[in-house]
Amino acid sequence: MPHPSFLRRFLAHSDHQPALFIGRWYSYGQLRELGERTAGWLREQGVVPGDRVAIQLDNGLDLVAAHLGCMALGAVRLPLNSHYQRAELAPILEDAAPKLAISRHPERFDGLPCHDHVGSGSPVADWPVPPEDITALLFTSGTTGRAKGAPQTFKMWESNLDALAERWEITPELRLYLALPMFHTHGLVLGLHGMLLAGASAVVGERFDGQLPPEDVTDVYGVPTWYRRWLPVMGSHPEAFRRLRLMVSGSDGLPAAVSDEVFALTGQRLLERYGMTETVMIASNPLKGERRAGTVGTALPGVDIRIEAGEIQVRGPSVFGGYRPRPDPGAFVEGWFRTGDAGSWDEAGYLRITGRKKDLVIVGGVNVSPAEVEELLRSVHGVAEIGCCGLSDADLNEVVAAAVVLDGSRSEEEVRRALGHRAQEALSGLKRPRHYVFVESLPRNAMGKLQRARIPLELFGRR
Ligand code: MLC
Ligand code: AMP
């Protein structure tokens, strides 16, 4: 069976080469065997090529086995945020219709066969081109409230990861600290697949714990919150960071003050880059040239960027083909994907992200749709109307805040408590509102449409 070039390259790395440290080292040969045995087990569960397999796991061996197993069999991976509760998962499961799920929380997967661990079967070593080349379906917060499926192909990933390998000089000698969750583009595509494509290695961390990076890593990929939380240890152990080859920041805007402080403590200038689930990486600062704080650098090789009426739009081989199964006709204009991010070029030709044209809150690098939060909290008894927005936060960059209009049936205190309970059971931690304000009415336009962008200043008196 012909393998897609993306997999051919992974299969070609020498068996004994170290690939991932997950409690112990796994070589490329051992990873392939792990994948093939997991593929055998998936087949025993009735999974066939093209079926979706929901993977709701934290970073660890089972997560890696599940991904490799799907690849060896030709199944479509449906990576799910391990923190998502049942109410957040329900619409995604409805749209993606997975054959089975692997999760430590079977109670979140009503009616779907769910295994709390990955099994092992007789090896399947097909490593095929999956139907329509779709290897994963990544759901990303839509502005409408309902998460949207962005199909990922090996071709998208290969062209993008090759461009990144060129820009960041990724070689087999490199060793990444991989503690970003491998259910988002950053950890899964850049982290896991970026290393496995290049024949490099990674030390997998279950989550970011604020401790020193492992001693043998050369590179770190993180979000701004990581670097901010790391500042105290950078102060006490600067050499642990000074010796690194590269520290990348992405998924959320890096405040210039954090970048400057990291530089002052470690002599390292964080390399900021910009991307999206739908496009993989769009732009990056250079490895060797000037890294300009407050910018995300220049377009990656193969990516075209234009700014139309202030909005960043992109096209190229790493841009996805459209949402599934609910296409959004407004996602593209003249073949260009509309990012919903506002940007401009600076005097050196570097891209600056100046804001968002979409209603999206980014909390610790995790996208939160305010409309989704409103939908899940609106039915709390005592609430007449609710409007959510982002407020700036010294740790997570932004957190969710909610403005609530009472219907008069319960007191403010009762409603506040009930909202807290509902958020706790229906929403993962980063989506829960951290601030509430009780008001007479919400800002709306003449058509009655909620204007979330006005909530911070008008109702909370700050940004
Ligand atoms: C943690 N929580 C999450 C979460 N991570 N909820 C939803 N989604 C997640 N990914 C929960 C915790 O369980 C906790 O809930 C609550 O949020 C707040 O706890 P915390 O202690 O502040 O969070 P912590 O666990 O320390 O995690 C914060 C973080 C981490 C910033 C270190 O979330 C992180 O590593 N984020 C990186 C996100 C990322 O990879 N983004 C890339 C997106 S791809 P409770 O119930 O215990 O209170 C993309 C494209 C691109 O954007 O350009 O890269
Ligand atoms: P996601 O849907 O999780 O892939 O998140 C993509 C969004 O994250 C982008 O549309 C941006 O709004 C944001 N983003 C990613 N990288 C950066 C960055 N370096 N600076 C500012 N925003 C970013």
**Looking at ligand 1, which atom is closest to the CA of residue 84?**
7
| CA-wise closest residue to 365 among 172, 208, 204, 235 | 208
Place of tokens 């530089």: 263
pLDDT tens, position by position, 329-367: 999 999 999 999 999 999 999 999 999 999 999 999 999
Residue 253 DSSP class: -
- Ligand with the closest atom to the CA of 341: 2
160 touches ligand 1 (CB under 6 Å):
no
Q: Identify the band that residue 145 occupies on the pLDDT scale cut at 50, 70 and 90.
A: confident
The mean pLDDT value for 219-241 works out to 98
Tell whether ligand 1 has an atom less than 6 A from the beta carbon of residue 276.
yes
DSSP assignment letter at 188:
I
Looking at ligand 2, which atom is closest to the CA of residue 185?
4
Task: Tally the C-alpha atoms within 13 A of residue 45's C-alpha that lie toward its C-beta.
Answer: 29
317 & 410 share domain: no
Ligand 2 binding pocket mutation candidate from 182, 247, 274, 311 (most atoms within 8 A of CB): 274
Give the number of whichever ligand sits closest to the CA of residue 358.
2
Q: Is the CB of 295 under 6 A from ligand 2?
A: no
CA of 347 to the centre of ligand 1 (A): 35
Look at residues 358, 391, 410 and tell me which one is the last residue of a structural domain. Answer: 358
Does ligand 2 lie within 6 Å of residue 353's CB atom? yes
Biggest CA–CA distance in the chain, Å, is 69
Residues 136 and 198 in one domain: yes
For residue 44, what pLDDT band results from cuts at 50, 70 and 90? very high
State how many domains the chain has.
Answer: 2
CA of 225 to the centre of ligand 1 (A): 9
The 10 Å Cβ neighbour count of residue 332 is: 16
The size of the chain, in residues, is 463
Say whether 49 sits in a helix, a strand or coil.
coil
CA angle, 15 then 60 then 78, to 5° = 95
Domain match, 420 and 300 both = no
Does residue 218 sit in the same domain as residue 319? Answer: yes
Average pLDDT on 138-148 reads 86
CA quadruple 319, 321, 325, 331: dihedral sign: positive
pLDDT at 235 over 70: yes
Q: Give the strand pairing for 298-299 and 114-115.
A: unpaired
Nearest CA to ligand 1 atom 32: 208
Q: Cβ(248)–Cβ(297) under 8 Å?
A: no
Q: Are residues 284 and 332 in the same domain?
A: yes
Report in angstroms the alpha-carbon separations of 257 from 29, 269, 355.
44, 12, 18
The residue whose CA is least distant from atom 12 of ligand 2 is 341
The tokens describing 436, both together, are: 């509430």
Same domain as 305, residue 434:
no
**CATH number of the domain that residue 265 is part of:** 3.40.50.12780
Residue 143 confidence (pLDDT) above 80: no
- Specify whether 80 is located in the same domain as 228: yes
**Centre of ligand 1 from the C-alpha of residue 440, in Å:** 33
- Answer yes or no: is the C-beta of 430 below 6 A from any ligand 1 atom: yes
Whose Cα sits closest to atom 23 in ligand 2? 252
**Is residue 277 within 6 Å of ligand 2 at its C-beta?**
yes
pLDDT digits (tens, 9 = 90+) for 92-112: 999 999 999 999 999 999 989
Beta strands in 199-335, from DSSP E residues, in sequence order: 201-204, 219-222, 246-249, 271-276, 280-284, 298-299, 304-308, 311-315, 332-333
Residue-number span of the structural domain to which 287 is assigned: 1-358
* Structural domain ending residue among the three candidates 358, 382, 406: 358
Q: What is the DSSP string of 123-183?
A: -----PPPGGGEEEEEEE--TTSS-EEEEEEHHHHHHHHHHHHHHHT--TT-EEEE-S-TT
Helices and strands per DSSP (H, E), number in the chain: 13, 25
* Domain match, 365 and 329 both: no
| Residue pair 190/221 in contact by the 8 Å Cβ criterion | yes
Strand partners, 271: 248
The answer to whether 370 and 452 have CB atoms below 8 angstroms apart is yes
273, pLDDT greater than 80? yes
Distance CA 285, CA 273 (A): 6
Atom of ligand 1 nearest to the CA of 181: 40
User: In the numeric block, which tokens belong to residue 172?
Assistant: 């087999």
- The predicted pLDDT at position 1 comes to 73
Identify the residue whose tokens are 């199944």: 75
Find the 145 Cα to ligand 1 centroid distance in Å. Answer: 19
Q: What is the CATH number of the domain that holds 448?
A: 3.30.300.30
Kindly state whether residues 199 and 300 are assigned to the same domain. yes
81 within ligand 1 shell (Cβ under 6 A): yes
Whether 362 is in the pocket of ligand 1, judged by its Cβ within 6 Å, is no
Q: What are phi and psi of 406, to 5 degrees?
A: -80, 155
Q: Mean of the pLDDT values across residues 442-449?
A: 96
In this structure, are 161 and 243 located in the same domain?
A: yes
Which atom of ligand 1 is nearest to 183's Cα? Answer: 40
Q: Rounded mean pLDDT of the chain? A: 97
Domain identity same for 325 and 341:
yes
Whole-number Å distance, alpha carbon 80 to ligand 1 midpoint, is 13
Residue 35 Cβ contacting ligand 2 at under 6 Å: no
Query: Which amino acid would we find at residue 184?
Result: H
From 301, 335, 358, give the residue that closes a domain: 358
pLDDT tens digits, residue range 409-439?
999 999 999 999 999 999 999 999 999 999 9
> Residue 365: its pLDDT value, please?
97
Give the closest ligand to the alpha carbon of residue 226: 1
- What whole-number distance in Å separates Cα of residue 260 and Cα of residue 234? 13
**Is residue 275 in contact with ligand 1, taking CB distance under 6 Å?**
yes
d(CA 283, CA 298): 5
Q: Does residue 152 surpass a pLDDT of 70?
A: yes
- What are the DSSP calls for 359-401, one per residue? --EEETTEEE-HHHHHHHHTTSTTEEEEEEEEEEETTTEEEEE
C-alpha of residue 355 to centroid of ligand 1, in Å = 21
Q: How confident is the model at residue 141 (pLDDT cuts 50, 70, 90)?
A: confident
- Co-location of 341 and 368 in the same domain: no
**How far is CA 82 from its chain centroid?**
12
Ligand 2 within 6 A of 222 CB?
no
Ligand nearest to the CA of 164: 1
How sure is the predictor about 374, in pLDDT bands with cuts at 50, 70 and 90? very high
Q: How far is the CA of 353 from the centre of ligand 2 (A)?
A: 9
